[in-house]
Every structure is written in structure tokens, then in C-alpha cells.
Amino acid sequence: MSEIQIMVVKCANCGSTLNVEVNDEITYCISCGSGFELVDGKLFPIEVNFISPTIPEQGKLIYKPFWKLETNVNIIERDAGSNLFKKLFSNNSSQPERLLNFVIPAFDCSIESLKKLAFYYTFQNPPLSPQKFSINLKGFSYGREDARKLAEFILISFEAEKPDTIRSLKYELKFLNDSILGIPFYLLENKTLIDGVSGMIVK
């Protein structure tokens, strides 16, 4: 049975101890609310925000980490019917570019749950909480580069699953700014995980 190894580092802003699991690329200071990306053992600031729960309490409240990737989506060529891209650019169909914030789970879950969560938070864009929370934000399974690859996967997967809607697609994603979102979940006694905003069951 493998053991989880912990690295002990200090918050660059307040000096508090940060307990970081090996392979974690992000850490959050519960004392001052600062977020950091770990690169080659060094801490680099990264913005961390939270979303407040909106559905009634159903179990133990925990927060799971998500990547928020601000991107410029440039559709170079597309041949499609009524689909995701028409929705993306419905406000200005003559404009091939649009700013879009992809919200990608940073924690381990099934691919089906990952797609549903990413699609919901990317397009619903719920408001951020005005406050930081002194909660442990751990369980980062996906780093920055992983999240960017997943954003591309999310962009095309919803089209690929719709028959007869898309025949050709050329696009470009420019990543402008990356940050972290803490999103509320309820953990039930039977280990079921329920999204505290959408009510979605996560597997």
C-alpha cells in the first residue's frame, strides 16, 4: 500500500505552513487566502476565488478545485448546423473570435462527470463569492497544461457527440490568464458527491 508523501513549504505572503502532497502543482494558504503554483520547488502567485453553494445543505460541505482558463476562441473554419459554436457566437455571428472562460475540474472524477461539470460552469458562469474561505483546497490531479488540453477536449467533444451537426472545424485557442476556483460540494455518508450549485451527482 503506497503512502502519500507531504512536502512542507511556507506561504510566501504570510509565512504560514503549507502542506503540499507530492505531485500537487497548486497550493492554497488557509491563513491569508493566497494561492500558489509550484514550479521546480518555487512558489508563483495564482489567483484563487470561490463560488458559494446555492442548493440546500445535503451533507458535509467541502470545496473542490477547478481551473478557470480565460481564452480567446478563434474559429478559423467551420461547417456545422445548430451546435455549440453557433451558441458561442450567437451574439455576433460575423465575429469569428470570442473570449470564453473554460472552467475545468482539477480533481479526479469520471470523464462523464468532468464533461458535465466543465460544460455547466463554462456556460452558466455563476457569480464569484466576494470573500475567501479558510478551507483546505486540495486534491489537484490536473495541472495547468493538463487543464489546457482538457479545455480543447471539452471544446470539440460536445460537437463530436452530436450526429450530423459538424463536418469540418478549424480553430485556435489562445490562453490569456489562468486562475483557480473553489466550488462547493456536499459529501454524503455513503461517499456520494453532490455539486452544491447545480445539484449534479459526481462520480
At 5-33, the pLDDT tens digits run 566 789 999 999 987 877 788 999 999 99
Residue 5 lies in a domain: no
Total domain count, the chain:
1
Residue 22 lies in a domain: no
Residue 8 lies in a domain: no
How far apart (Å, rounded) are the C-alpha atoms in residues 78 and 86? 10
The CA-based angle 109-48-35, given to 5 degrees, is 100
How far apart (Å, rounded) are the C-alpha atoms in residues 53 and 66? 15
DSSP helix/strand/coil, 170 = strand
Residue 197 lies in a domain: yes
pTM, to two decimals: 0.86
Handedness of CA 128, 131, 136, 137 (dihedral sign): positive
pLDDT interval class at 92 (50, 70, 90): low
pLDDT of 4 reads 52
Range of the domain at 73: 54-102+110-126+143-202
Span between the terminal Cα atoms of the chain, in Å: 24
Residue 21 lies in a domain: no
Contact criterion met (CB below 8 Å) for 68 and 101: yes
**Nine cell digits for residue 77:** 473554419
Residue 14 lies in a domain: no
Work out the number of other CB atoms within 10 angstroms of the CB of residue 117.
24
Least confident stretch, 28-37, 38-47, 93-102:
93-102
Best CA proximity match to 182, nearest among 147, 130, 142, 132: 132
How far apart (Å, rounded) are the C-alpha atoms in residues 182 and 86? 30
Task: Please classify residue 101 by burial: count the beta carbons closer than 10 Å to its beta carbon, then call 0-12 exposed, 13-18 middle and 19+ buried.
Answer: middle
Which DSSP letter does residue 147 get?
Answer: H
DSSP helix/strand/coil, 124 = helix
Is the pLDDT at 82 greater than 50? The verdict is: no
Pairing relation of β-strands 166-187 and 48-50?
parallel
pLDDT of 1 reads 45
Instruction: Give the DSSP H/E element, type plus range, for residue 116.
Output: helix 111-124
Residue 18 lies in a domain: no
Residue 36 lies in a domain: no
